Structure 1
Amino acid sequence: MTVTLSWGALFLYCCVVLSVSGSKILFVSFTPSPSHQKPFQEIWRTLTAKGHEMHVITPNPLVNHTYANLIQYDIGDVYAWAAKMNQLKKKDIKYSLQKPNFLHTFLKEFAVNRGWHAVHEYTFQLPEVKRLLDTQSSFDAVIVEWLYPTAAALAGYYRAPLIGICSLGAPTNGLDEIGNILNPVVTPDQNVPIGRGDFSFRDRLLSALYSVFIRLYYHWCIVPTEDRTIRKYLGDDIPYLGDITRNISLLLLNRNQISHRLMSVVPGIVEFGGLKYDKIVQELEPGLKHFLDNSKNGVVYFSMGAAIKQLAFLSPQQIDVFKSVLGELPYNVVWKWDNETMDEKPDNVFISSWINQTAVLGKKPLSVKFRAQL
Structure 2
Amino acid sequence: MKLSLALIVVFINGIFGFKVLGILPFGSKSHFAIGHAILKSLAEAGHNVTSISPYPLKEPMENYKDISTEDYVEVFFKNNAVNMFAFENTPIVNKIMELIFIYWINRNGNEVVKYHAVHPKVIEFMNTYEKFDICFMEIFNYDALLGIAEHVGCKVISYTTTAVVKWADDMTGNVSPPSYVPRPYVQYSDKMSFRERLMNTFYAHIEDIVYEFIIKPNQRRLYEKYFPNATKTFDEMYKDTSMIFMNTHISLTAPRPYLPSFVEIGGIHIQPVKKLPKVFQNFLDSATDGVILFSMGSVIRSYQWPVEKREAFVKVFGKLKQKVLWKYENDTLPNKPDNVMISSWLPQRDILAHPNVKAYICHGGLLGTTEAVYEGVPVLGIPIFGDQKTIMAKAVTRGYGLQVYFKDVSEETIGSALDELLNNPMYKENAKIISTRFKDRPMTPQQSVVYWTEYVHRHGGAPHLKAAGNDLDFIAFHMIDVYAVLFFGGISFIFINYLIIKWIFMKFSGKPKKTEKKNEKKLKKK
Q: Shorter-chain TM-score: which interval? A: 0.7 to 0.9
1:5-54 per-position Cα deviation (integer Å, ceiling 9, x unaligned): xxxxxxxxxxxx89x82111111112222222223222211211222121
CA contact (8 A) 2:126 2:148 kept: no
Equivalent position of 1:36 in the other structure:
31
2:47 paired residue among 48, 52, 63: 52
Equivalent position of 1:77 in the other structure:
71
Equivalent position of 1:128 in the other structure:
121
1:66-96 per-position Cα deviation (integer Å, ceiling 9, x unaligned): 41x3221112222211222223xx37x5543
Equivalent position of 1:262 in the other structure:
255
1:190-219 per-position Cα deviation (integer Å, ceiling 9, x unaligned): 1222245x4222211221011111111111
Structure 1 pair 371–117 and aligned structure 2 pair: CA distance change class (3 A): same
Structure 1 pair 330–84 and aligned structure 2 pair: CA distance change class (3 A): same
Structure 1 pair 160–296 and aligned structure 2 pair: CA distance change class (3 A): same
CA contact (8 A) 1:25 1:53 kept: yes
Structure 1 pair 320–303 and aligned structure 2 pair: CA distance change class (3 A): same
Equivalent position of 1:142 in the other structure:
135
Equivalent position of 2:165 in the other structure:
171
Equivalent position of 2:515 in the other structure:
none
Letter in 2 for 1:224: P
CA contact (8 A) 2:35 2:138 kept: no
Distance across 1 between alignment mates of 2:25 and 2:315: 37
Pair 1:231 & 2:231 matched: no
CA apart distance, 1:318:
4.2
CA apart distance, 1:99:
7.8
Matching of residues 224-303 of structure 1 within 5 Å: 224-275=217-268, 277-279=270-272, 281-286=274-279, 288-303=280-295
SS across alignment from 1:205: helix
Structure 1 pair 158–215 and aligned structure 2 pair: CA distance change class (3 A): farther
Distance across 1 between alignment mates of 2:273 and 2:60: 14
SS across alignment from 2:158: strand
Distance across 2 between alignment mates of 1:58 and 1:98: 33
Matching of residues 51-130 of structure 1 within 5 Å: 51-67=46-62, 69-87=63-81, 90=82, 93-98=84-89, 103-130=96-123
CA apart distance, 1:329:
5.6
Letter in 2 for 1:300: I
SS across alignment from 2:202: helix
CA apart distance, 1:227:
1.9
1:161 paired residue among 124, 140, 155: 155
Q: Which runs of 5 or more structure 2 residues have no equivalent in the other structure?
A: 1-11, 366-526
CA RMSD in angstroms comes to 2.8
CA apart distance, 1:341:
0.7
SS across alignment from 1:225: helix
Letter in 2 for 1:185: S
CA apart distance, 1:127:
2.5
Equivalent position of 2:340 in the other structure:
349
Distance across 1 between alignment mates of 2:78 and 2:127: 29
SS across alignment from 1:296: coil
CA contact (8 A) 2:291 2:359 kept: yes
Q: TM-score, structure 1 length as denominator?
A: 0.83
CA contact (8 A) 1:100 1:193 kept: no
Q: Which runs of 5 or more structure 1 residues have no equivalent in the other structure?
A: 1-16
Letter in 2 for 1:83: F
Aligned residues: 349
Structure 1 pair 276–25 and aligned structure 2 pair: CA distance change class (3 A): closer
CA contact (8 A) 1:171 1:191 kept: no
Equivalent position of 2:524 in the other structure:
none
Distance across 1 between alignment mates of 2:194 and 2:228: 48
Distance across 1 between alignment mates of 2:187 and 2:116: 30
Letter in 1 for 2:73: Y
Structure 1 pair 48–232 and aligned structure 2 pair: CA distance change class (3 A): same
Distance across 2 between alignment mates of 1:327 and 1:243: 59
CA contact (8 A) 1:284 1:359 kept: no
Distance across 2 between alignment mates of 1:225 and 1:294: 55
**The 10-residue stretch of structure 1 (325-334 or 348-357) with the greater mean CA deviation from structure 2:** 325-334
Distance across 2 between alignment mates of 1:321 and 1:239: 56
Letter in 2 for 1:282: K
Letter in 1 for 2:25: F
CA apart distance, 1:347:
4.2
Structure 1 pair 195–298 and aligned structure 2 pair: CA distance change class (3 A): farther
Equivalent position of 2:357 in the other structure:
367
| Identity, % of aligned positions | 25
More helix by share: 2
Distance across 2 between alignment mates of 1:272 and 1:328: 40
CA apart distance, 1:328:
5.8
Distance across 2 between alignment mates of 1:304 and 1:267: 35
Structure 1 pair 193–54 and aligned structure 2 pair: CA distance change class (3 A): same
Structure 1 pair 323–236 and aligned structure 2 pair: CA distance change class (3 A): farther
Decide which structure has the larger Cα Rg and report it.
Answer: 2
CA apart distance, 1:120:
3.0
CA contact (8 A) 2:97 2:203 kept: no
Structure 1 pair 106–315 and aligned structure 2 pair: CA distance change class (3 A): same
CA contact (8 A) 2:27 2:77 kept: no
Letter in 2 for 1:302: F
Distance across 2 between alignment mates of 1:193 and 1:326: 27
